[in-house]
Amino acid sequence: MSSYQKLNSSWSNRIGMLIDWLPLIAITAFSLSAFLVYVSMRSQIVPAVFNELNTIAEIKEEQLESWFNQQQNTVLEASEVLGESPQIVEILESGGINPEEVPTIEALLEEVDLLENSYSVSLLNQSSIIVYSTKGSIEGSYQPIQNTSTYLTPENRDQVVPNFYASRRDAMPMITFATPLHNEEDQRVGFLAVDLDLDALNQEMRELPYTLELPSEEAPSLEVYLVGRISPEKNELVAHSVESHTLGDGISSPGIDEAILHRNSNQELYLNYNRNPVIGDYRWISEYNLALLSELKQYQIFAPARRLAAWIYGLGFSITALLSMILFLFKPKVKAKTNKL
């Protein structure tokens, strides 16, 4: 075989190998392009989402402050009215309540907006014994005023920090405002203890802010919630209902732990307490000893990037498949033509 024939054979083999490898090279190039586009779009989406979450968190902080202020106002105003009521004073001093007196008390509680805006209401005598409660089963029991409860007065309302705790009776998450009752002579006759309606607070936190318009694909994944340290080892959602709060070991996530354990506020990508990847804004609200978290699921947020990457990959696969068919059909002719040269 002459050197020319050897060279011609070598070129023929190289062209054949190129034809064989070209589909793999093409699909690799398209796959790499799709991946780079996905990464690039993610890097553009994340800052915009962080801005949205920051806006949401700021709105929710204002709502949280307004909600607690309203609760304080309601409790303090109610204590003035109830303390000056002869019926309430008589019940507290007698240390007991007759069934026929219950409608009178309920009417007074409704008048001061406590029945609709609280989880439960109790009237305690000077010895912190529950004389009346909307939860009748706890009447006659002892309730410490400054242990788990948050002691509230007109003088300390701007400095008081709510105490988030687990009820000794049913382990239910609680925040309780307790305030003294004074009669018309300004003598203390007992206490008013109000368990705040944490389900109402939880619902308000989870509602989409009316000032914010999220795309329809993002709105369902938005979750805004409060978490508190309910014991030295356990975090819990700020809510009463069984559907809202967890049992057992409580909840945990990098965002929750950073906010509650380290008192940090930041925005990151992490796994939430349900182990779903999210883009989150977490912040520690020192005024209320609670963590506020605003989260959007990564799966929905990055859907546009995935769709574009999938489209590029699909286009590349189609082009590669078509190119492979053409090369397969023309490969013998190309090799034959090369051999003739």
Q: Are 275 and 51 in contact (CB under 8 A)?
A: no
- pLDDT(252) > 50: yes
What residues contact residue 293 under an 8 Å CB cut-off, 6+ apart? 223, 224, 225, 226, 227, 255, 256, 259, 272, 280, 281, 282, 283
| Domain boundary assignment for the chain | 48-65+202-208+215-301, 74-197
For residue 231, the surrounding DSSP H or E stretch is strand 223-231
- Is it the case that residue 10 has pLDDT exceeding 60? no
**Cβ(108)–Cβ(82) under 8 Å?**
yes
Q: Could you tell me which residues are beta bridge partners of residue 279?
A: 269, 296
DSSP secondary structure string for all residues of 23-50: HHHHHHHHHHHHHHHHHHHHHHHHHHHH
**pLDDT tier, 96 (very low <50, low <70, confident <90, very high otherwise):** confident
Question: Is 255 in contact with 295 (CB distance < 8 Å)?
Answer: yes
Per-residue model confidence (pLDDT) at position 185: 85
Q: How many CB atoms lie within 10 A of CB 213?
A: 11
| CA proximity to 82, closest of 119, 115, 120, 111 | 111
**pTM of the entire predicted model:** 0.80
Chain centroid to CA 121: how far? 28
Q: What is the CATH number of domain 48-65+202-208+215-301?
A: 3.30.450
Residue 48: closest CA among 248, 293, 302, 221: 302
Alpha carbons 292 and 50: distance in angstroms, whole number:
15
Q: pLDDT (tens digit, 9 = 90+) per residue, 150-161?
A: 999 999 988 999
- Average pLDDT value for the chain: 81
Of 208, 203, 176, 179, nearest in space to 191 by CA: 179
Higher pLDDT, 159 or 244: 159
Could you give the residue ranges of the DSSP H alpha helices within the chain?
3-83, 86-94, 102-111, 198-206, 254-262, 298-301, 303-340
Residue 2 pLDDT > 60, yes or no? no
What percentage of the chain exceeds 70 in pLDDT? 81
Are 48-65+202-208+215-301 and 74-197 equal in CATH topology?
yes
Q: pLDDT tier at 81 (50, 70, 90 boundaries)?
A: confident
Dist CA 71 CA 66 (whole Å): 9
- CATH fold for domain 74-197: Beta-Lactamase (3.30.450)
What confidence score (pLDDT) does residue 22 get?
A: 65
| pLDDT at residue 26 is higher than 70 | no
257 confidence band (pLDDT: 50, 70, 90): very high
Distance CA 16, CA 331 (A): 7
Q: Does the structure show a pLDDT above 90 at 146?
A: no
Residue 4 has pLDDT above 60, yes or no: no
Distance of alpha carbon 13 from alpha carbon 339, whole angstroms: 10
For residue range 35-75, list pLDDT tens digits in order.
777 777 788 888 988 998 999 999 999 999 999 999 999 99
Q: What is the pLDDT of residues 278-322, one digit of tens each?
A: 999 999 999 999 999 999 998 888 877 777 767 777 776 777 777
Range of 210-214, 228-232, 254-258, 301-305 with top mean pLDDT: 254-258
The predicted model gives 246-269 an average pLDDT of: 88
